[in-house]
Amino acid sequence: MSDFIHSKFVQEMCDITANMYRQGWDERNGGNISYMIDEEFVREYFPEDKFIRDIPAGFVAHECLRGKYFLVTGTGKYFKNVKGDPETNLGLVKISEDGETAHLLWGYKDGGRFTSEFPAHLMSHAVRYQINPKNRIIMHTHPTYTICMGACLPTDEKIFTRKLWKSNTEAVVVFPEGVGVLPCMICGTTEIGEATAEKMKQHRIVTWTNHGIYGAGETIDEAFGLIETVEKTAQIYMLTLGHVVNEIPDEVVIGLAKLWNLKMMEGVIGE
């Protein structure tokens, strides 16, 4: 049995948090990630469940997540520091059978706990997992241009999606279901968790106006790829705002979706 700290799961979390920090998205303790790990992989490192301590969830996790294991960034922890000390900045928890407690198996070495956004993470996991049982990742971060774009547009997901699709030909291909948009809300609450999860029924990406973005995926690469495509496109939009001569024509957006056999979010193009 090798040490969990050397597992691919911890390594992936170290690599992605360092990468996201370098993008300039995760200032101070900004951002959080949760990674659902299948029991068979947990058992490779922990032959049986031995809990260090229990942490109250503060909400009731959905039935489909009870007994599941999550590797989660800690609250107040800095992405830039994860790689240097994963055992303090990350924790592996198992959701209790009543959904009200997280049993700690590893990590949060300084007595810490999971991200304050755990409600939004677990509620989003529950929705995405039921749509796609292969979904494993929920990722939250503060990408600069996406936040700028949200501040410049009405909080309307069709308008937001349309602006993205018409700024970068990759956009409709990467997120044909469009981007969910939430207005500015108080973060770290069950309410914003429920609102995010509701949007996750239609979208793998949800923006939080004046705050940041959530992405879901089967892998870290997929969740990150969604977010970086939105952010890159938002950067193009913001840098060209007020100067655009060549906007992507509607026929090209529709043609790309047809070429890749994608079902586009309705009511965005051609109405």
Q: How far is the CB of 113 from ligand 13P (least distance, A)?
A: 9
Residue 268: which of 252, 258, 254 has the closest Cα? 254
135 binds, among Zn ion, ligand 13P, none (CB under 5 to 8 A by kind): none
For the chain, what percentages of helix, strand and coil (3-state, to nearest 5) are there? 45, 20, 40
7 lies in the binding site for ligand 13P (CB under 6 A):
no
3-class secondary structure, 119: helix
> Binding to ligand 13P (CB under 6 A): which residues in 105-144?
115-117, 140
Residue 117 among the catalytic residues: yes
**CA dist., res. 207 & res. 99, Å (int):** 27
By rule CB under 5 A, what count of residues binds Zn ion?
1
- For 146-183, what is the HEC assignment? HHHHHHHCCCCHHHHHHHHHCCCHHHHHHCCCCCEEEC
Residue nearest to Zn ion (CB): 212
191-250 residues near Zn ion, rule: CB under 5 A: 212
Q: How far is the CB of 96 from Zn ion (least distance, A)?
A: 26
In this chain, which stretch among 71-79, 101-109, 171-179, 231-239 interacts with ligand 13P, using CB under 6 A? Answer: 71-79
Around 54, how many Cα atoms within 13 Å sit in the side-chain half-sphere?
9
Query: Pick the catalytic residue: 40, 97, 100, 117?
Result: 117
**Where do contacts with ligand 13P occur on this chain (CB under 6 A)?**
29-32, 73, 75-76, 115-117, 140, 187
